[in-house]
Amino acid sequence: MFGWIFLGVLVVLVVWTIVMYNNLVTLQNQVKNAWQQIDVQLKRRHDLIPNLVNTVKGAMEFEKETLSKVIEARARAVGAQTVSGKAEAENMLTQALSKLFALVENYPDLKSNQNILQFQEELTSTENRVGFARQFYNDIVAQFNIKQGVFPSNIIAGLFGFKEGEYFQAETVAKEVPKVDLSLK
């Protein structure tokens, strides 16, 4: 009799362990997928920038510094490897780009240029995509980390050595508002 009860408990425990483990693995893969989505969108942004710079270069002779900052930030973002390194480099790029677009406002020719308008839409969309992909990634990471933290799934997570997912931090740098020199007008 006791043997049967023991066996029953054992079976329940094994099944429960398998379910918990599979849940964690699923979440881990979702985190990876979500990260790949961010990567795809970052690449899209990197590909857009050289064209943008070429389009505005002629009209924005005086803003060489801003332009070179954008190019520099892009190069750094392309080279970044780790999650935190990427986050930092991408934030720099976001800042440089928003400064560039703030300056475009000063050039009526550029502002009404059809190409620029299209670029602006494409870049807005890319910025949004990066933002939304990051939002989704962070939500999944939060789910994954919570699952690893709470009882009883934390036992399984510890047993099989799951590691916490790393958040893609954005707000720290990007909150700074780009300064625009109005005396240029």
Partner 1 sequence: MTDIYSQQKRNRRLTIILIAAFFIILGIMGYSIDSYTYGTLKATGLPVATIVALSLASINGLVAYYYGDSVVLFSLRAQQLQFENPLHKRLHNIVTEMALASGLPMPKIYVIPDPAPNAFATGRDPRHAVVGVTEGLLNNMSREELQAVIAHEMGHIKNQDILLMTVVTVLVGTIVLLSDWAVRAWKFGGVRTRRSSRSKGMHPLIILIIILFALLAPVLSRIIAMAVSRQREYLADASSAEFTRNPAALANALEKITKVASPVSRAHKGTAHLFISDPLHRSLDNKEGLLADALSTHPPIEKRIERLRRMAYSYGGKV
Binding site residues, partner 1, CB under 8 A: 34, 37, 41, 117-118, 121-122, 124-125, 128-129, 132-133, 135-136, 140
Cα–Cα distance between 14 and 130 in angstroms, integer?
41
Radius of gyration of the chain (CA): 24
CB of 173 to partner 1, least distance (A): 19
Q: What is the dihedral of CA 15, 18, 21, 22, to 10 degrees?
A: -110
- Find the shortest distance in angstroms from Cβ 17 to partner 1: 23
**Shortest spacing between CB 24 and partner 1, in angstroms:** 18
Residue closer to partner 1 (CB basis): 110 or 140: 140
Contacts for 102 with CB less than 8 Å, ≥ 6 apart: 178, 180
Nearest-approach distance from CB 147 to partner 1, in angstroms: 16
Q: How much of the chain is in helix, strand and coil states, percent to nearest 5?
A: 80, 0, 20
Whichever of 84 and 124 has its CB closer to partner 1, that residue is: 124
Nearer to partner 1, 100 or 133 (CB): 133
